[in-house]
Amino acid sequence: MTQTRYVRWFNELRLVDVPLVGGKNASLGELYAACAAEGVRVPNGFALVAAAYREALAGAGAEAKLRALLDGLDLTNMAVLSERAAAARKIVYEATGGQELRRQIIDAYGKLQAENGVGCAVAVRSSATAEDLPNASFAGQHESYLNIRGDDGVVEACRRCFASLFTDRAIVYRVNNGFDHFKVALSVGVMRMIRSDLGASGVMFTLDTESGYRDAVFITGVYGLGETIVQGQSDPDEFYVHKPTFKKGYRAVLSRRLGKKQMRMVYADVRTGETTHEFPVSAEDAGRYCVNDAEVLKLAEYAIDVEDHYSKLAGQTRPMDIEWAKDGDDGLLYIVQARPETVVSQRAIDSFTTFGLTGTGPILATGRAVGERIVTGKVRVIANVHELGSFHPGEVLVADTTSPDWEPVMKTAAAIVTNRGGRTCHAAIIARELGIAAVVGAADVTQNLKTGTLVTVSCAEGDVGHVYEGAVAFETHQVPLAGFEHPKTAVMVNLGNPDIAFRSSMLPNDGVGLARMEFIIGEHIGVHPMALAQPEKVTDPAARAAIAKLVAGYAHPADFFIERLAEGVGTIAAAFYPKQVIVRLSDFKTNEYASLLGGGGFEPKEANPMLGFRGASRYAHPAYAAGFALECAALRRVREEMGLVNLCIMVPFCRRVDEGKRVIETMAAHGLKSGDNGLEIYVMCEIPNNVIQIDAFSALFDGFSIGSNDLTQLTLGVDRDSEIVAFDFDEADPGMLEMFRLAITGAKRNGRHVGICGEAPANNPEIAKFLAGLGIDSISVNPGSLLRTMQLLREAEAKG
């Protein structure tokens, strides 16, 4: 009698073999057989076909026993669910112990040993036949086993994988997603283990997992085996690479964030009876990235190649979820799994719902934001899986970390907050899939938050998520995109926070009319530029120590400033690429500069900083020239190394024509010359003299952006921050309307671009109509005002 061939090697499999070996193993076959030929390094292995599972159960008469356990099962009764699931696993485990299946597993493992050495370690992973399809993901539902060695060890791990089709979480998942238990079978993949326990590993996506922005590769990594990322035990390093410029030949990391990488999982000595064990990462190792820039770029190359291959097969862009590993022995990078991303990429973008806080309150915890939502609820601290029965739907689940066994409860939570984890940990993945807010890696929340406390969880403020005390007021706006029409006037975005750039770029827009450099310096660097350009002049011991800690690992303190500023500006430019992004050079006032770390000794004390040493007056002045050189170096990196030539530079608060000439000359000396590689240099039109001498300024600059706030203050002679005279601050004053008219017609007369980057058009429909009637080229407003401004302009244009 002919025996069924239960083994298929990876080079025999393709994506079309999902019915044969499940989605995970079919994808491994596609990677090994096709992508490896394109230069993507993939370790070899084999799969046990789903028929092995089916025939084993049929031979043991197991289906009737399993139906008796599962039919009518009450999923809300956790105790009964756990008992029945354990009984089902025992049935499958016993059924898959046949001699023929064992023989074929041992023979195949023997061939892997011939390739890689006697007793080589393998990873044994489950692959359901409906797994990893574009509309369903069973990721994390079934078991995987690492560092498996020897014939008996491999056979045992395979049987346990088969049995894991009936874990508690897998049963619940199938019921909730409409899968018939008996129409889903399990295949098992056996792959050579990469010695990432001696190197590093992680997960990467070919889109941003929060916003759904598709032009970036998002890479996470930790030391050792990557299980600590998914399990939430380690806060990983994070990197972004911009795909469009990468494909044009630019090789630069767009941005990076150093993770804490608390734990390292490594292979255990098999004689101990364990396959892996964990130990804390040293402070020295945690203080540096687990992979270098060259390795990040190689991973990005692999990710783009894999996405391109799978997209070609699908006939449409197919964002991918990819696991990678760095072998500590050979130093090489490997792809060990790839599957279509099935959460963010499947969202129907037929409308935008935005959340925004309108109130405030004491901050109880901060961490990594997941979900871009805001929710209020009562805290329920859960110490372990045995306490899940006390959780009530609608509460905020607070835990050290989560695991797949928690999922039945997680789906009822208003929000999730964890001590540990990054944006690709289990809690983050499930929160994203369920569409709920999560704050992960918020250290010590299980100690600092108490059950029953009312909190507001906000993930709508950028990369950092906050847990506020009490019910903090917030608002939501839903804007349908069906039939959405852009006005004739370009509507751009004012932005300073790189953390919300990807999300903001998903809104209808015409680019960025104002990217505020000072926000990036203040929030993402925090150090006075001169303190990094001339650190020897910082006299305060506490400031010197704090700066030394920040710049540790950099060859020069100035390198820290250049890298961080380039990443912040570059992220905004990349998010809106290839649309124009206008970045305004730093425009702090002296009192604001002095508040930066190390800044006190570099700034004069002024009675009226609003009219003092600010904007263009600083850039060529000896008191700030060295700091301005760092700003220019960062902008050159964005344009030349990152390839983001959509970046335009704008000079703020330029009082006189001669001052403008000095700034232009200084920028050229630093390698930023108007016209080179398409560079345009604009100037803020915010001082009456800019309007009066618009022809002379037009001879120097390529365009103008009207700063309505300062222009109104200086035209009307009123301080809008003064409680006594603020009522006289009126951007619709006839004098101001004439200023707008003169600025716009003057710029047009000289063939120069002219826009406005104040909120006046968003707040006053009459101003919007007036500007549109004058033919202003662009109006730039905050993201929250973007769609409302477009509507106002469409109405104004319709009325003529």
Pairing assessment for the beta strands 363-370 and 437-440 based on DSSP bridges: antiparallel
DSSP classification of residue 198: G
Per the residue annotation, which of 459, 632, 654, 757 is the catalytic one? Answer: 757
Question: What is the 3-state secondary structure of 404-433?
Answer: HHHHHHHCCCCEEEECCCCCCCHHHHHHHH
CA atoms within 13 A on the CB side of 525: 34
Q: Which residues pair with 326 in a beta bridge?
A: 200, 333
Q: Which amino acid is at 593?
A: Y
DSSP classification of residue 777: S
Distances (CA, A) of 741 to 584, 730, 770: 23, 16, 9
Q: Are 368 and 439 in contact (CB under 8 A)?
A: yes
Q: Are 358 and 373 in contact (CB under 8 A)?
A: no
Alpha-carbon gap, residue 700 to 684, rounded angstroms: 13
Q: Are 438 and 459 in contact (CB under 8 A)?
A: yes
For residue 29, report the phi and psi dihedrals to the nearest 5 degrees. -65, -45
Q: Which amino acid is at 787?
A: L
- For tokens 């911009």, name the residue: 242
Per the residue annotation, which of 142, 181, 309, 426 is the catalytic one? Answer: 426
Active site residue 486: no
Alpha-carbon gap, residue 223 to 230, rounded angstroms: 13
Distant-in-sequence contacts of 395-398, Cβ < 8 A, 24+ apart = 396/455, 396/457, 398/445, 398/446, 398/449
Q: Are 668 and 682 in contact (CB under 8 A)?
A: no
Chain CA centroid to CA 153, Å: 39
For residue 437, report the phi and psi dihedrals to the nearest 5 degrees. -75, 145
- Looking at the chain, the number of H-run helices and the number of E-run strands are 30, 30
Q: Which two tokens stand for residue 329?
A: 């022995």
Strand residue runs (E) in 49-193 = 122-128, 144-148, 186-192
Distances (CA, A) of 563 to 476, 484, 524, 582: 35, 39, 11, 19
Pairing assessment for the beta strands 474-480 and 351-357 based on DSSP bridges: antiparallel
Alpha-carbon gap, residue 567 to 642, rounded angstroms: 10
Closest CA to 597 of 523, 526, 541: 526
Closest CA to 427 of 386, 370, 380: 370
Which SS3 state, helix, strand or coil, does residue 449 take? Answer: coil
Alpha-carbon gap, residue 602 to 720, rounded angstroms: 28
Alpha-carbon gap, residue 718 to 400, rounded angstroms: 53
Radius of gyration of the chain (CA): 30
Chain CA centroid to CA 501, Å: 10
Active site residue 35: no
For residue 58, report the phi and psi dihedrals to the nearest 5 degrees. -65, -40
Residues annotated catalytic, as ranges: 426, 757
